[in-house]
Amino acid sequence: MINFSILISSSEVNGPGGLFDLDATLPLVAVQFILLMIILNAILYNPLAKLLQERDEYININKTEAAKLRSENDTLSSAYEQKLQSVREKAELELRNSQKIYDEIFETELNTSQKYIDNFLDTAITELLDEKDIILNDLDKIVQSLCLDIETRLSI
């Protein structure tokens, strides 16, 4: 504590040069401050402000271009979706038409085949009936000849 009291007693100043002494150093400090502010403004702040302004312009340009590209993308996307939808509809219509054509071809082929099979069966049935009649007639003749043979043998 003694050292502190010595310090306080020795710091006592008599005369000018107190806490708010306004002499020639104040304008010199003000000039130094203004000069330093001008130098820093010229060397550091102006280029930095210019760089920030250029960066803002670059960002704004890119945002504008991105919005324009997005608008074009949306337009093209909707156009392609419409084309795709119309192509799908055409493909479905063509598929249905092809299915109808193939169904008609199948029906005509089926009808033709059915007629051919019916004609073949009619012919086969007719031939079999004719053969049956011939065989029955031959059988009848054979039976009659056998009957005559039996009668002749029995009558002996």
Residues 21-71: tens digit of each pLDDT: 667 777 888 899 999 999 998 898 898 999 999 999 999 999 999 999 999
Q: Looking at residue 29, what is its pLDDT?
A: 86
Q: What are the structure tokens assigned to 32, written together?
A: 């130094």
pTM of the prediction? 0.44
What is the C-alpha separation between 51 and 39, in angstroms, rounded?
A: 18
Mean pLDDT of the chain: 87
Mean pLDDT of 106-113: 94
Q: Looking at residue 12, what is its pLDDT?
A: 52
Q: Looking at residue 17, what is its pLDDT?
A: 56
Q: Looking at residue 20, what is its pLDDT?
A: 60
Q: Looking at residue 22, what is its pLDDT?
A: 65
pLDDT tier, 155 (very low <50, low <70, confident <90, very high otherwise): confident
What is the C-alpha separation between 4 and 17, in angstroms, rounded?
A: 22
SS3 state of residue 69: helix
Rg (C-alpha) for the chain, rounded Å, is 62
Q: Looking at residue 121, what is its pLDDT?
A: 93
